[in-house]
Structure 1
Amino acid sequence: MKRIRKSLIGAAALCLSLGAAAQANWYPSKFGANDEIGAANYLTPAVALNAAKLVKTGKVYSLGITVSTTTPAFPPRTCSIYIVQPGQTGSAEGLGPTHTTYNDDILNCWTGIGTQLDGLGHIGVGDRYYNGLKWGEFANISGLKKLGADKIPPMVARGVLLDMAAHYGVDVVKEGTAFNVAEIDAVAKKQGVEIKQGDVVIFHTGWLSLIEKDPKRFGSVEPGIGREGARHLVSKGVVAVGADTWAVEVIPFEKDGDKDGGIFGVHQILIPMGGTYILENINTAELAKDKAYEFMFVLGQNKYQGAVQSMINPVAIR
């Protein structure tokens, strides 16, 4: 994680210059200059009805991971929980004649930890964010004025799992392995699925299996989507892209020929340029084990007003 953080600082000027060159090409959004939900516009009643038709067995999968104080996260993100008994700590007296006692909890967490949804206010290109909004126009310490994660509608859609580990014949795909058009299309064809508008596409790499046994490796590098692959998925009209990795995109980052390709370029292609959501640290192991390549995907995120991200526990049903 420290290595990536240093790279972020060292490449800041490069990112800004790339952003300045690209700005005129990706806003206003095709959904309208005032749109705030991006690819969530694809979430229609027809998409939900078609997703429901995929339910054949009734098996339900939890796609979220448990978050603790030791969960690896992009620095400086952390999470702590405090259990309190307001006004009655350790007392048996409790409340009223029934001596009712209760526990409450306080979370002191970054919302971008564990299984998480990256909203459209998360990533920018220079000072421009989704739909060309300038940081100073909508971002405030007390919450986003626009693009808040609370505005994202419930995601009920067809989920598609692309099992990259099976494709490469390994339990864990090697870090630095990029998934671009050839790899994405090859796995989809092999599995007999077609990626369609309104889908939620999730990659299984086996990387999440390292989170406890090798957290340092888990949180510093990973296999993932390349820039070409990200553009390919945006062009197909997917609502969200996820993976069992902490950043979804390939790290070390792809080079642009023999030059530095920039920092979190896939995030930029998906979120500000494409209006496409990112789902990180998705627990895909059980889906991959069952070869559940199509399923009903359901997500209702926490609706904290003006939030950038949200810790989530999406559900797959097949």
Structure 2
Amino acid sequence: MTSIETRNEGQGDVSGTTTTDLLLRAVGEGVRIYDLGRPLTIGMPQSPNHPAFWHALPRRHGDMVRVDGGSAANDIITMGTHVGTHIDAFAHVSQDGKLLDGSDAAQASQGGRFAELGAHTIAPMVRRGVLLDVPAALGTPVGCEAGYEITPADLEAAVERQGTPIGAGDVVLVRSGWGRFFGHSDRSVYIGNDSGVPGVGEAGATWLADQGPHAVGADTIAFECLKPGSGHSVLPAHRVLLVERGVYIIEAMALDELAAAGVHEFAFMLSPLSIFGATGSPVRPLAVVGA
């Protein structure tokens, strides 16, 4: 049986609020749920490094009709595991041929599966969540500029403005405001190959890892700061978080509604698909607060 990852309340939540407190408060007051996942649609923006999402109906209503007049339709989908809102498993990134546990990355993937660090090893999460609204802290609530690097000072400013210190084991979501382009008619705008994309750089990733989070997330495809024209040529935050420090990364999240409501602390829930040996999984994360 797979266990559910919950905050260890004995680790000392610096805010004084545990995951249990957040859940009980929400249940007692009436629950409001914020959906932090993106709809999966054909043609949605995504990293060019992964197979696109496709959805079709191999059987439509009327293709086969039962003797009593009943009919059923069914679906088939194909997609990469890093398309749409998704979580990166520790098997996703290596550095100098090594994975997080020091194993040889090439050997670990023999047979086409990562048995030790694959997506099936990511337990479902019920944890304290913290949203760091960086544009609000910078006085640019619409969003950070293209290619802007979110620094430790920016993250600290968000924590101080909101009064939401990060505790060990939390899930920390970083809003850049770039998510407003996810539904743009020109999907290349969100991908940002030419313009660049705002995000956490190496220093910011190190600062986040130093706070001891279980996972981090962002409203962009790559979590990283992508400079104009550079694409995904270097991903230092992935190296720091996935390979060096053991922190999961969640990408392409929908964070604007949460920020607009002024919600910065919540019970965070996420369950990946238990795809044995996969490097990542689609997810539909939720933020749960009292109504």
Matched AA of 1:249: E
Matched AA of 2:150: F
Q: CA deviation at 1:147?
A: 0.5
Partners of 1:246 and 1:114 in 2: CA distance: 8
Residues 250-295 of structure 1, C-alpha deviation per residue, up to 9 Å, x if partnerless? Answer: 1119x9xxxxxx7101100000111100010110011101110000
Q: CA deviation at 1:125?
A: 0.4
Distance 1:103 1:141, change over 3 A: farther
Pick aligned residue for 1:81 from 55, 68, 80: 55
Pick aligned residue for 1:215 from 183, 187, 198: 187
Matched AA of 1:58: V
Normalization by structure 1: what TM-score? 0.78
The 8 Å contact of residues 54 and 294 in structure 1, kept in 2 or not, is answered as no
Q: Specify the alignment match of 1:124 in structure 2.
A: 94
Q: Specify the alignment match of 1:195 in structure 2.
A: 166
The 8 Å contact of residues 92 and 99 in structure 1, kept in 2 or not, is answered as no
Partners of 1:309 and 1:109 in 2: CA distance: 12
Q: CA deviation at 1:43?
A: 4.3
- Spell out the pairing of 1:108-123 with structure 2 (5 A cutoff): 108-123=78-93
Distance 1:127 1:280, change over 3 A: same
The 8 Å contact of residues 54 and 295 in structure 1, kept in 2 or not, is answered as no
Partners of 2:189 and 2:111 in 1: CA distance: 32
Q: Specify the alignment match of 1:15 in structure 2.
A: none
Equivalent residue pairs, number: 268
Distance 1:251 1:299, change over 3 A: same
Q: Specify the alignment match of 2:143 in structure 1.
A: 172
3-state SS of 2:90 partner = coil
Indicate yes or no: 2:201 matched with 1:226: yes
- Spell out the pairing of 1:143-292 with structure 2 (5 A cutoff): 143-170=113-140, 171-213=142-184, 214-219=186-191, 220=193, 221-252=196-227, 263-292=234-263
Pick aligned residue for 2:34 from 61, 66, 83: 61
Question: Which one is further off, 204-213 or 296-305?
Answer: 204-213
3-state SS of 1:130 partner = coil
Q: CA deviation at 1:227?
A: 1.1
Matched AA of 1:231: T
Indicate yes or no: 2:280 matched with 1:309: yes
Residues 61-118 of structure 1, C-alpha deviation per residue, up to 9 Å, x if partnerless? Answer: 1100112221111114211012122xx8733533xx4343222211111111111101
Indicate yes or no: 2:62 matched with 1:90: yes
3-state SS of 2:129 partner = strand
The 8 Å contact of residues 163 and 203 in structure 1, kept in 2 or not, is answered as yes
Partners of 1:54 and 1:176 in 2: CA distance: 39
The 8 Å contact of residues 50 and 158 in structure 1, kept in 2 or not, is answered as no
Partners of 2:267 and 2:25 in 1: CA distance: 6
- The percentage of aligned residue pairs carrying the same residue is 28
The 8 Å contact of residues 202 and 241 in structure 1, kept in 2 or not, is answered as yes
3-state SS of 1:185 partner = helix
Distance 1:177 1:197, change over 3 A: same
Partners of 1:247 and 1:122 in 2: CA distance: 13
3-state SS of 1:82 partner = strand
Pick aligned residue for 1:135 from 98, 102, 105: 105
Pick aligned residue for 2:265 from 291, 294, 298: 294
Q: CA deviation at 1:53?
A: 4.7
Residues 207-255 of structure 1, C-alpha deviation per residue, up to 9 Å, x if partnerless? Answer: 11112324213102211112111111112110111111111111119x9
Partners of 1:304 and 1:134 in 2: CA distance: 21
Partners of 1:89 and 1:317 in 2: CA distance: 37
Matched AA of 1:113: V
The 8 Å contact of residues 91 and 114 in structure 2, kept in 1 or not, is answered as yes
The 8 Å contact of residues 249 and 266 in structure 1, kept in 2 or not, is answered as yes
Structure 2: segments with no counterpart, 5+ residues:
11-17
Matched AA of 1:138: A
Matched AA of 1:83: L
